[in-house]
Amino acid sequence: NVLEIFHEIAGEIRSGLDELEDWGLSGGHPGQYIHDVVADEIAIPILWGAGLGIVSEESESQGLDRPVVAIVDPIDGSTNASLGIPWYATSLCAVDSEGLLASLVCNQATGNTYVAARGLGAELDGQPIKPSQKDKVRDSILVFNGLPHSYFGWKQYRALGSAALDLCSVADGTFDGFADFSSGLALWDYAGAALVCSESGVVISETDGTKLDFGNLLKSPSSRIRLLAAGTPPLHENLIDSVDV
């Protein structure tokens, strides 16, 4: 069971982080922290031993010819983690020949865990989740990755620093929608949360409304795209019309 493996990894990473004393930069690639490396070194052997291929932000891809490939962001929101801000997550997503199969996004600061499986819905800590039902930007509380060029009519917004958790918080109805104003997100940033979103009923796409094609995205996982997500189709359309990226 892929989700059992993912739960094991999330738990092992949390234990590893509990013992960590230095949350500074690793000296590796730009923006990489020691906790990114520690989490990756925990996750990779477990995934490989379970027979999964691996695409990770923090290490080389391997086993992409295996039937199931895991897309891994060991710590999404690494800067938050380094600052003690409790909004950072381990994101794990399994992909097979049909697309996204199963995913887990665990807030490592709190233990709150989102899971989703294709065709089976999404849960937060074992309870089914559904998005809010707002239809208009003007009535919505949005969460942003990056900041917009100008005000486009939202009721309120937040910018919290972990795209995986931000997207999952649209799936559970905390926020009404998500918009990305950064240079874009890589596959490992959003894959796990994308399945949580779609299985909960959230509409998720690129900012121009293009549907996510994970078959093509897996071929170049570091390529960056900008995303929109909304709890309802009308709000999604309203965001497409309103957002100037």
| pLDDT tens-digit series, residues 16-42 | 999 988 887 877 777 889 999 999 999
Domains, the chain, with CATH or none:
2-128 (3.30.540.10), 137-242 (3.40.190.80)
State the pLDDT at residue 244. Answer: 73
Q: Where are the beta strands (DSSP E) in the chain?
A: 53-56, 59-62, 69-76, 89-96, 99-107, 113-117, 121-124, 127-128, 141-145, 156-158, 177-180, 203-206, 227-230
State the pLDDT at residue 245. Answer: 58
Chunked into runs of 10 residues, the chain (245 residues) has average pLDDT values of 98 95 79 93 98 95 96 97 98 96 99 99 99 98 96 97 99 99 96 98 97 87 94 98 81
CA angle 216, 221, 223 (to 5 degrees): 90
CA distance 77 to 232: 26
Give the list of residues 6+ apart from residue 75 with CB closer than 8 angstroms, or none: 13, 33, 35, 36, 39, 81, 88, 89, 90, 108
Single out the residue of 40, 99, 31, 45 nearest to residue 72, CA to CA: 40
pTM (2 decimals)? 0.96
CA distance 93 to 162: 16
Neighbours of 101 (CB within 10 A): 20
> What is the maximum alpha-carbon separation in the chain?
49
- For 75-100, what is each residue's pLDDT tens digit? 999 999 999 999 999 999 999 999 99
CA angle 123, 18, 167 (to 5 degrees): 30
CA distance 36 to 24: 10
State how beta strands 113-117 and 99-107 pair. Answer: antiparallel
State the pLDDT at residue 17. Answer: 95
Structure tokens at 236: 């999604």
State how beta strands 121-124 and 156-158 pair. Answer: unpaired
State how beta strands 177-180 and 227-230 pair. Answer: antiparallel
